[in-house]
């Protein structure tokens, strides 16, 4: 699989007006130009002020105005970027401003851009992060895209008085973005290219960064008794896989932390077949596994000082003469039996064996699983927040905080014994659906039965993995939501 690194490099430099490319000036709301913007305005004979006035550009947050071929400047164009009220800035303001510049200039015709960061309070490293994050585009299968639509921008420089410090702080952020881009690559690939074995090969590429990778096939999983996971994959011609990643960045005997991902490389629903319209979206039903893999790349890339296990359950859910049927009973690795009442509730079946395996083998401090588990979470939270479910207030608080500071937002939903009853079953130990009410919660209650009381969080990312429209930090397509969240969560709570 060919990699996409984003089309753009990010550099840092000192404050001076560049002679070519695009120049982006940050403008506070209702304030006159200052610093280099004022200098450029006077070189242009007041053209920038005039442009601002006649276009009603106030500097309100999110406003941009492009002025091309400015008299008196040798640069291609000027981009005015409104930053609003300096006092009103939040954690994600500067990231989104960096991203805005990339989005505005990517296909402008300019090959380079300089962002002039000469206003006190601007966070240069955040601008840099946003600028590169927004440069991702999954275009490898467009062979006939018109030249005029292709990106021209190859580099963005952020010019400030503390470029050395910012550059140093950015090194780790850049590695995390590599992880985000890997996740976006994985969720974007179609299911004929990305299936369990080819996904496992992608995981193997992390060995270059020092990650130790093991891959189990169906024979090995049968020996372990993973009847739930294997039942989902049994209708597919593609062999199911379990990939295990070890990043040993901590002390040798430190208890690891662990992340488990749902990797359904395509979810047709199986015999409980999904309706046709929109089914192509189920190529990203491996988003949990994609996020765990991108996270491992981020942590290894920046050499995080912590021991981390990543486990991804990789299967394809297909209808066939060999597919599992509604009414089948499977035995999970934990020994608990499950009556399959809907073959489309397959994610929990994959995860229950992967979670049990993870706690049994690695005795981790905690398990966080990620999954595009339920359509119901989209009904609850839309595409803004991922849902989190846990008995641990501490883990939820840590995640919420990391969510606010990265912009990968999460929202806690409840667990309760009364919801757990909804998956009780007369035929087996439990059934794999709980009925229409509280569909995301009953799915979480199902997973909880396989945690063996190890502290655990379930993150339902069905609403956040993919976007049908352009977002501040990503184009329409894979978002990479969760990688920066969990990287920050690890950095703030579990390193050193
Ligand atoms: N992969 C889907 C969940 C999903 C749906 C993700 C839409 C993203 C968008 C999952 O495997 C599924 O099919 N869940 C069912 C569960 C139901 C049968 C209990 C659902 O949500 O409808
Ligand atoms: Mn399904
Ligand atoms: Zn699914």
Domains of the chain, start order: 9-170 (3.40.220.10), 194-493 (3.40.630.10)
- 8 A C-beta contact, residue 465 and residue 287: yes
Please state, in angstroms and rounded to a whole number, the distance separating the CA atoms of residues 39 and 46. 10
Ligand 2 center from residue 283 Cα (angstroms): 11
Q: Which two tokens stand for residue 164?
A: 């050395």
- 8 A C-beta contact, residue 29 and residue 60: yes
Task: Please give the model's pTM, rounded to 2 decimal places.
Answer: 0.97
Residue with tokens 């881009």: 181
In whole numbers, what is the pLDDT of the chain averaged over residues?
Answer: 97
Mean pLDDT for 41-56 is 97
Mean pLDDT for 21-42 is 98
Name the residue among 300, 97, 313 with its Cα closest to residue 179: 300
296 Cβ contact partners less than 8 Å away, ≥ 6 residues apart: 179, 206, 211, 245, 247, 259, 308, 310
pLDDT for 140: 95
Please state, in angstroms and rounded to a whole number, the distance separating the CA atoms of residues 283 and 267. 7
Mean pLDDT for 278-300 is 99
pLDDT for 6: 67
Which of 281, 374, 377, 434 gets mutated to test ligand 1 (max ligand atoms within 8 A of its CB)? 374
Please state, in angstroms and rounded to a whole number, the distance separating the CA atoms of residues 288 and 460. 9
pLDDT for 425: 98
Residue 305 annotated as catalytic: no
432 Cβ contact partners less than 8 Å away, ≥ 6 residues apart: 338, 339, 340, 341, 342, 345, 348, 349, 423, 446
Whole-number percent of the chain with pLDDT over 70: 99
pLDDT for 1: 63
Ligand closest to CA 342: 1
Mean pLDDT for 115-133 is 97
Alpha carbon distances (Å) from 385 to 272, 374, 407: 28, 14, 10
Phi, psi of 9 (to 5 degrees): -100, 150
Q: How confident is the model at residue 91 (pLDDT cuts 50, 70, 90)?
A: confident
**Per annotation, catalytic residue among 29, 111, 154, 274:** 274
Ligand closest to CA 284: 1
Alpha carbon distances (Å) from 270 to 119, 264, 328, 388, 477: 57, 12, 13, 27, 25
CA atoms within 13 A on the CB side of 191: 23
Q: For strands 64-68 and 22-28, give the pairing.
A: unpaired
Name the residue among 286, 295, 418, 291 with its Cα closest to residue 346: 286
Name the residue among 338, 368, 389, 377 with its Cα closest to residue 232: 338
What is the per-residue pLDDT across 161-190, written as a single tens digit (0 to 9) for each? 999 999 999 999 999 999 999 999 999 999
pLDDT for 5: 60
Residue 431 annotated as catalytic: no
What is the per-residue pLDDT across 244-268, written as a single tens digit (0 to 9) for each? 999 999 999 999 999 999 999 999 9
pLDDT for 209: 98
Please state, in angstroms and rounded to a whole number, the distance separating the CA atoms of residues 234 and 242. 14
Q: Which two tokens stand for residue 230?
A: 């294997």
pLDDT at 2 over 70: no
Ligand 1 center from residue 89 Cα (angstroms): 37
Residue with tokens 């593609």: 238
| Closest ligand 1 atom to Cα of 372 | 6
Edge-to-edge order in the sheet of strand 456-460? 212-216, 241-248, 307-317, 257-267, 367-371, 456-460, 386-390, 410-412
pLDDT at 373 over 90: yes
Enumerate residues lining ligand 1, CB below 6 A: 267, 285, 342, 344-347, 372, 374-376, 433, 439, 462
Mean pLDDT for 198-226 is 98
Three-state SS for 297? helix
What is the per-residue pLDDT across 61-90, written as a single tens digit (0 to 9) for each? 999 999 999 999 999 999 999 999 999 998
For residue 46, give the DSSP letter. T
- 8 A C-beta contact, residue 350 and residue 219: no
List, in sequence order, every residue forming a beta bridge with 77; answer none if it has no partner: 22, 68
Please state, in angstroms and rounded to a whole number, the distance separating the CA atoms of residues 37 and 116. 8
pLDDT at 3 over 80: no
pLDDT for 456: 99
CA 378 from centroid of its chain's CA atoms: 17
Mean pLDDT for 338-349 is 98
Q: How confident is the model at residue 7 (pLDDT cuts 50, 70, 90)?
A: confident
Alpha carbon distances (Å) from 306 to 200, 413, 445: 23, 29, 29
Mean pLDDT for 386-413 is 98
Phi, psi of 313 (to 5 degrees): -95, 115
Of 1-10, 301-310, 419-428, 470-479, the one with minimum mean pLDDT is: 1-10
pLDDT at 99 over 80: yes
Q: Which two tokens stand for residue 87?
A: 């006092």
pLDDT at 4 over 90: no
Ligand 1 center from residue 282 Cα (angstroms): 9
Residue with tokens 């379930």: 458
Q: Identify the residue whose C-alpha is closest to ligand 1 atom 16.
A: 345
Ligand 1 center from residue 18 Cα (angstroms): 51
């Amino acid at each position: 699989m060919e990699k996409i690194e984003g089309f753009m490099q990010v550099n840092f430099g000192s404050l001076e007006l560049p002679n070519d490319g695009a120049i982006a000036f940050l403008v506070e709301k209702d304030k006159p130009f200052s610093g280099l913007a004022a200098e450029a305005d006077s070189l242009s004979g007041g053209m920038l002020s005039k442009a601002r006035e006649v276009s009603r550009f106030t500097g309100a947050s999110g406003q941009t105005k492009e002025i091309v071929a400015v008299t008196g400047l040798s640069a291609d164009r000027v981009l005015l970027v409104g930053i609003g009220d300096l006092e009103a800035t939040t954690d994600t303001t500067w990231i989104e401003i960096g991203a805005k510049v990339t989005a505005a200039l990517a296909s402008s015709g300019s090959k380079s851009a300089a962002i002039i960061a000469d206003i006190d309070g601007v966070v240069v490293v955040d601008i840099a992060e946003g600028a590169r994050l927004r440069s991702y585009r999954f275009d490898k299968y467009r062979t006939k895209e018109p030249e005029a639509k292709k990106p021209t921008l190859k580099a963005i420089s952020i010019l400030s008085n503390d470029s050395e410090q910012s550059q140093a702080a950015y090194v780790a952020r850049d590695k995390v973005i590599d992880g985000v881009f890997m996740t976006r690559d994985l969720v974007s690939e179609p299911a004929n290219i990305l299936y369990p074995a080819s996904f496992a090969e992608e995981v193997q590429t992390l060995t270059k960064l020092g990650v130790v990778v093991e891959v189990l096939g169906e024979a090995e999983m049968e020996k372990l008794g993973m009847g739930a996971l294997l039942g989902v994959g049994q209708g597919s011609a593609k062999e199911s896989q379990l990939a295990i990643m070890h990043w040993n960045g901590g002390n040798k005997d430190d208890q690891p932390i662990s992340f488990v991902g749902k990797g359904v490389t395509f979810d047709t629903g199986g015999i409980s077949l999904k309706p046709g319209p929109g089914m192509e979206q189920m190529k990203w039903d491996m988003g949990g596994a994609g996020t765990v893999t991108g996270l491992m790349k981020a942590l290894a890339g920046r050499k995080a000082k912590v021991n981390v296990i990543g486990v991804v359950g990789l299967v394809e859910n297909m209808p066939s003469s060999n597919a599992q049927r509604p009414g089948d009973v499977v035995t999970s690795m934990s020994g608990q039996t499950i009556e399959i009442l809907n073959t489309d509730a397959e994610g929990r079946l994959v995860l229950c064996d992967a979670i049990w395996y993870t706690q049994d083998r690695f005795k981790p401090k905690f398990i966080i699983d990620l999954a595009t588990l339920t359509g119901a979470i989209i009904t609850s939270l839309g595409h803004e927040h991922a849902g989190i479910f846990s008995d641990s207030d501490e883990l939820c608080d840590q995640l919420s905080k990391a969510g606010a500071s990265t912009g990968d937002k999460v929202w806690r939903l409840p667990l309760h014994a009364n919801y757990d009853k909804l998956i009780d079953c007369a035929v087996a130990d439990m059934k794999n659906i709980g009925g229409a009410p509280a569909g995301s919660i009953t799915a979480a209650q199902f997973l909880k039965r396989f945690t063996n009381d190890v502290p655990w969080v379930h993150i339902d990312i069905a609403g956040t993995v993919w976007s049908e429209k352009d977002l501040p930090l990503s184009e329409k397509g894979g978002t990479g939501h969760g990688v920066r969240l969990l990287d920050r969560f690890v950095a703030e709570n579990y390193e050193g």
